[in-house]
Amino acid sequence: MQTPLMAPLIIPLDVGVDVAQDEVVVACAASSFAPQAVPNQRAALLKWLKRLPAGSRIGMEATGAYYETLADLAHAQGLQVFVLNPRDVRHYAIGIGRRGKTDRVDAGVIARYIAREHKDLHVHVPASPQQRTLDRLLKRRARLVAIGATVKQSLAGLSGVRREIDAIIDRIDALIAKIDTLVQSWLRQVPAQWRTYGHLQSIVGIGPLAGAYLANTFARLPFANVNAFIAHTGLDPRPEDSGQKVGRRRLSKRGPAELRRLLFNCAMSAAKSKLWKPFYEQQRAKGLSSTAAIVILARKLARIAFAIFKQQTDFDPQKHTLAA
């Protein structure tokens, strides 16, 4: 039996939401109302949101696409919306001593997290329909690539089914090609984004797929500066120092894994080019591993991509040749 919706409130609240496919469980950091379940349907969500005071903050985890309706409606109602990394919420729950895990407990943890940490969090801005479609296409494409690789690896060397395996791979490749066509079509629908895509394509090492992903990312997220973008990619080195000890630097890997994968692949390709090979070899001469050198080159390409986006100009390889 669902808990009745709370009476109208005036003081802004910090609200946490545990999102599932059929319903969301909501909780308030100040316990102004009891945790309750609301159907994850547009009408029910809107009815509940309208009872929240103006200026309230609402947080939820990025769980597939189930959170999108609630996030869009809450933003349209003028609330501050925070879409959180589930890993951050999990670590926070452990840090405050939460031993159990239920929908109500999770909603309460999110509400507390928002109440205490909202000043250091980024407010969520809903994507446009075009941006959301592009994002989904690129994610599905990445999934298909992973499935194709799994099929090849798991069935390699299996006799008697070579023709069937090839047929499966051909179908996957055909579907990937179809998605690539759709990505190009959606990019063309927004002239500014299409121009950015063209500029990014001029960077030695950046291919069509990475260019599309970057163009959509730049259009979607308002990065304050290049360092904010590098942090988003997860290619930023994370220090592990303590006292006199200088620890080994590791990548934060906080951003989208697919973006890191694409930039890494671009760097591997770029390392073989006439322009970037000297830079790659320079990193290797410092005693770095090939992987570390590729990561540094990937980070450099990401910085160049951000500059190209901001300046809206084509890449000039001559400048980097002279710098080298």
pLDDT of the chain along its 324 residues, tens only? 455 555 555 789 999 999 999 999 999 999 989 999 999 999 999 999 999 999 999 999 988 789 999 999 999 999 999 999 998 999 999 999 988 889 999 999 999 999 999 999 989 988 899 999 999 999 999 999 999 999 888 887 777 888 888 899 999 999 999 999 999 999 999 999 999 999 999 999 999 999 999 999 999 988 999 999 999 999 988 877 777 777 777 888 888 899 999 999 999 999 999 999 999 999 999 999 999 999 999 999 999 999 999 999 999 988 876 555
Position 159 scores a pLDDT of 78
Distances, alpha carbon 131 to alpha carbons 69, 77, 195, in Å: 15, 21, 15
Write down the residue that tokens 């390699």 correspond to: 156
Residue 70, token pair as written in the block: 């609630």
Read off the pTM.
Answer: 0.82
Domain ranges of the chain: 14-120, 127-189, 191-237+251-324
| Amino acid code (one letter) for 176 | I
Task: Answer left, alpha or beta for residue 157, where phi above 0 means left and psi between -120 and 50 means alpha.
Answer: left
**CA distance from start to end of the chain:** 69
Domain 14-120 is in which class?
alpha beta
Q: What is the pLDDT of residue 1?
A: 46
CA 265 from centre of chain: 18
How high is the pLDDT of residue 190? 92
Reference 322, options 266, 283, 269, 275; nearest CA is 275
Buried b vs exposed e over 92-117: b needs ≥16 C-beta within 10 Å? bbeeeebeeeebbbbbbbbbbbbbee
Q: Three-class SS of residue 14?
A: strand
